[in-house]
C-alpha cells in the first residue's frame, strides 16, 4: 500500500514536471494552431517554454512572454529524463507486469547490436509468418477508409537550399 502511494506520487510529480521545451529559432506564438491566427508574441531562439499539448504541427505553450500556439518544429522538447522513468513505469503497470521484476526474463526483450545483426541466420519460418500478415492494396484501402483517411495529392519536397 505504502509502495502504491509512493508510486502514484511519483507519477503525479513527473506528469507535472513533464513537458518543458526550448525554441530553436525565432518564431511567433499565435492564438490558435493556424498560420493566419493572431500573433500574441514572438519568442527569440533559446526561450524556455512549457508545453501544454500538441495539435498537428503545433504545440500549445506557456511562456513568460505569453501563451499560445507555436510551430512544432520551432521547438525541441527538453527534460526528457524526468519523463522516461515514470512513463515506462506506467506502461508496465498497464501491461500488468509492474513489480514482477521479471520483464526481461519473461518476454525475452533484448537489444539489437551490430554483432548480432552480422551473425544473424535466415529464418524461413519467420518469413512465412511475416508473409501471412501481408495486406493487399485493397485490404489496406478498406482499413484506411474505416478511419476516414482520405488520399490526397501532394508533391515531394525539394531538398532545402537546393532548388528554389
Partner 1 sequence: MNKLTAKIFVIAALALLLQTAQAFDFGQELRNAARELQKPGGSANLGGYSEAEEVAIGQQIAGNLLGAAPLVQDKKLQKYVNNVGRWVATQSERPDLVWHFGVIDSSDINAFAAPGGYIFVTRGLYKLLNDEAELAGVLAHEIGHVISKHHLKILQQGKMLDLGSKLLGKQVGDDKISKLIGSGAEIVSRSLDKGAEFEADRIGVVLAARAGYDAYGLPGILQEIGHSATDDSSVALLFKTHPHPDDRLAKLGEAMDSRFDGLNGQTAAKRLYKIK
For partner 1, the binding residues in 7-46 under the rule CB under 8 A are 24-25, 34-35
Look at residues 62, 66, 65 and name the one whose alpha carbon lies nearest to residue 53: 62
Q: How far is the CB of 161 from partner 1 (least distance, A)?
A: 8
Sheet holding 27-30, edge to edge: 39-43, 27-30, 66-71, 58-63, 48-55, 20-23, 75-78
The answer to whether 136 contacts partner 1 (rule: CB under 8 A) is yes
**Cell representation of residue 100:** 514482477
* Distance of closest approach, residue 127 Cβ to partner 1, in angstroms: 5
CB of residue 42 vs partner 1: minimum separation in angstroms? 16
Strand, helix or coil at 89? helix
**Does residue number 130 form part of the binding site for partner 1 (CB under 8 A)?**
yes
The 10 Å Cβ neighbour count of residue 67 is 17
Does 157 contact partner 1 by CB under 8 A? yes
Residue 124 near partner 1 by CB under 8 A: yes
| 105 forms part of the interface with partner 1 (CB under 8 A) | no
CB of 48 to partner 1, least distance (A): 14
Q: For residue 2, what are the contacts with CB-CB under 8 A and spacing of at least 6? A: none
Q: Which three cell numbers stand for residue 10?
A: 511519483
Contact residues toward partner 1 (CB under 8 A) are 24-25, 34-35, 54, 56-57, 71-74, 76-81, 84, 91, 94-95, 107-114, 116-124, 126-127, 129-131, 133-137, 139-141, 143-144, 147-161
Amino acid at each position: 500500500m505504502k509502495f502504491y502511494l509512493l508510486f502514484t506520487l511519483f507519477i503525479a510529480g513527473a506528469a507535472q514536471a513533464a513537458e518543458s521545451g526550448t525554441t530553436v529559432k525565432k518564431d511567433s506564438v499565435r492564438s490558435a494552431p493556424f498560420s493566419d491566427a493572431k500573433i500574441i508574441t514572438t519568442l527569440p531562439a533559446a526561450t524556455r517554454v512549457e508545453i501544454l499539448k500538441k495539435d498537428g504541427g503545433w504545440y500549445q505553450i506557456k511562456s513568460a512572454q505569453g501563451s499560445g500556439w507555436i510551430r512544432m518544429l520551432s521547438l525541441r522538447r527538453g527534460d526528457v529524463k524526468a519523463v522516461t522513468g515514470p512513463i515506462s513505469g506506467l506502461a508496465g503497470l498497464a501491461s500488468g507486469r509492474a513489480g514482477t521484476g521479471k520483464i526481461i526474463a519473461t518476454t525475452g526483450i533484448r537489444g539489437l547490436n551490430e554483432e548480432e545483426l552480422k551473425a544473424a541466420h535466415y529464418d524461413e519460418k519467420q518469413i512465412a509468418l511475416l508473409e501471412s500478415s501481408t495486406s493487399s492494396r485493397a485490404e489496406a484501402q478498406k482499413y484506411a477508409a474505416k478511419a476516414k483517411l482520405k488520399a490526397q495529392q501532394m508533391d515531394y519536397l525539394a531538398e532545402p537550399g537546393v532548388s528554389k
